Structure 1
Amino acid sequence: MTLLSKLQIKYPGALAWGFGDSATMADELANHVIEGRKTASCGSLTAYLNEASPPTVGSYHIILNGREQPVCVIRIVAMRIVAFNKVEAEFAYKEGEGDRSLEYWRQEHKAFFTRAGDYSETMELVAEEFELVEVV
């Protein structure tokens, strides 16, 4: 039995996924979660609405690294919808990326959502905060 299978038994219904849109980004952001630096994330509301099993408050998630291997488990503790141009410095800091500033957050997330093909200054985001449950 694989580690992922064991975790899916331990956390029934947990989705397994990696952060970002590249193996390098998945590794970097998963490490930030493990270090306690990253306690928040966001995605477009459009993508959220198109997910078969969208995250909910209280749901568990198995975080994968860039090689699709489980590295930790998180639990969503808060969610809200916010426009891209209304994201606050506090949330950018919780995302834990770069120098943790709002300016860095805007630059990198604009690039990310542009690559995904759905960037707009006023796009709605699902902003999630989470806690680290276990490192595997």
Structure 2
Amino acid sequence: MDELTAVDAENAAQLVEFWEAGRIKAGLGRTGTVTGFGNETAVPPVAWAFGDEPEMADRLLDLVLDGTKTATSSAVWSYEDDGEPLPQKGDLSIILDADGAPRALIRTSEVEVVAFEEVTEDFARAEGEGDRTLASWRAGHEEFFRRTLGVGREFSSEMPVLCERFTLLYPR
């Protein structure tokens, strides 16, 4: 078993504390877990930060916290390359800031996979980035995908994009 660094231990403690407060505020009690109905309250949900740079993580998190950003998109290939399942409707996530501190609890409300060129104006507006237009979304996300796609992957307008809408359950 790997040892946690001091920073990791601090972030892990913050995550558990945030989850305890967030699940209560969101009405996710422990009764279901105790009686065997489910495990959504047993352990904190997956925690992640937006983007690939600290500034981006904080900027996009701020948009979630102020209610502007209610959707996010990812390259499906990134999930495949990392061996991770795609998010599903009902999934809970904790959004981290650039320092790894938990700041928002969200629930995925809708998931759709479409070609990059099929992302809609409505979805671009829900992402809340730039001037919230489809043209701005396409320019920003093409640049991001070109920068972050894995080895052997190249951006194309036909590439599969995960379009995920979410609801903010608990801000911090």
TM-score, normalized by the shorter chain, greater than 0.5: yes
User: 2:155 and 2:145 mapped to 1: Cα distance?
Assistant: 5
Q: Which amino acid in 2 is paired with 1:6?
A: E
TM-score, normalized by length of structure 2? Answer: 0.74
Counterpart residue identity of residue 94, structure 2: I
Most deviating of 74-83 and 1-10 = 1-10
Match of 2:141 in 1: 109
1:120 match: 156
What is the identity, as a one-letter code, of the residue corresponding to 2:79? Y
Instruction: Report the Cα distance in structure 1 between the residues aligned to 2:68 and 2:104, rounded to whole angstroms.
Output: 14
- The gaps in structure 2 that reach 5 residues or longer are 1-11, 24-40
1:13 CA displacement: 5.1
Note the C-alpha offset of 1:51: 4.0
Residues 98-125 of structure 1: per-residue CA shift (max 9 Å, x gap): 1101111000000000001342111011
Q: Which has the higher strand share?
A: 1
Deviations 1:58-109 (A, max 9, x none): 0110000111111111000000111001111100000000110111100000
Query: Quick one: higher RCO (CA 8 Å, sep 6+), 1 or 2?
Result: 1
Identity %, equivalent residues:
35
Give 1:53 shift.
4.7
Q: Which amino acid aligns with 1:108?
A: G
Per-residue CA shift, 1:7-43, capped at 9, x if unaligned? Answer: 4564435110001110000000000000000000111
Query: Tell me, which stretches of 5 or more residues in structure 1 are unaligned?
Result: none
- Cα contact 1:48–1:126 (8 A) shared by 2: no
Change (3 A) 1:55 1:13: farther
TM-score, with structure 1 as normaliser:
0.92
Q: Distance in 2 between matches of 1:80 and 1:111?
A: 21
Please tell me whether the aligned partners of residues 19 and 44 of structure 2 are also in contact (alpha carbons under 8 angstroms). yes
Larger radius of gyration: 2
Q: Note the 1:1-136 alignment, pairs <5 A.
A: 2-8=13-19, 10=23, 11=41, 12=43, 14-49=45-80, 50-117=82-149, 118-136=154-172
Aligned equivalents of 2:146, 2:84: Cα separation in 1: 23
SS of equivalent to 2:51: coil
